[in-house]
Chain A
Amino acid sequence: MTSPPREPTRIACVEDEPDLRRICELTLGRLGGFEVAGFPDGPSALEGLAAFGPDLVLLDVMMPGMDGPAVLAALRERPALADLPVVFMTAKAQPEEIARFRALGACDVITKPFDPMTLSDTVRRILAERVAP
């Protein structure tokens, strides 16, 4: 069980597709009231996450170069970022893939395409589940 996130809750979005990253920033920020930081790839995320201090990271699985699982593994090696809750975003929605992502350490998986208008609700649910006994 973890403490409730602070307000405004900070969400990092690591997504290489600029349109999707922008829509996450818009809907999470405007609709959800979150403070949002977008990162276009793994290296920039690893560099910027410590300074931003997110309460949760949305992490795209399929990214060129350093993919989502590689980013997650790198986060877990950094003491300051090791306990960050990470949610994978992926078009691979088969149960065995989702189980694999959870086994890698993701606290949840959002399948694509996701409804941008309900993304904030999904993120709140995930955060609430982490706090609930």
Chain B
Amino acid sequence: MMDPHLRQELRKLITSFVSTMGTLTEGMARTLEEGRAGGLEAPGAWESLAAAAHRISGSGASFGFADIAQTARRIDLRAQQALAVEGLAPWDDPEIAEALRELAGLVAVAEPRDSPLFPAE
């Protein structure tokens, strides 16, 4: 029988993380939009994408959102590779567009109870 305080804290933490994934994913989409509109430099945009994707990937994997973590990791790795290549902008990268579409789709339907760590009532 799980400690009731731990149960409550885990439910809160995982629920919050699911919300955070949505916010981070929306932020990544906004980064691409702003870049297309000429409002961003590519290196900064790649770093922003990498940071958001790294967080979703790392914490997502630990919380048991394996598909989301895997997709976010693709974005993270791509961003890290691209940072070494001058001139490539994320908003011009079809790999990023596809991965972000996939990530947004997965995050949109993610529920806290999808996490194997989410305690039952």
Contacts and interface: CB of A to CB of B under 8 A. Distances in A.
A91 B58 contact: yes
Interface string A33-66: 0000000000000000000000000000010000
Given A19-B20, A23-B13, A30 B3 contact: yes
B interface, over-half SS: helix
B62 A20 contact: yes
A113 B117 contact: no
Secondary structure call for the A interface: helix
B98 to A, nearest CB: 23
Contacts of B61: 91, 112-113
Contacts of B69: 113
Interface in B71-113: none
Contacts, number: 44
A70 interface: no
A19 B59 contact: yes
B114 interface: no
A49 B61 CA distance: 28
Contacts of A22: 13
Interface of A: 17, 19-20, 22-23, 26-27, 30-31, 62, 91, 112-114, 116-117
9 contacts: A17-B59, A19-B16, A19-B55, A20-B59, A23-B13, A30-B9, A91-B61, A113-B62, A116-B62
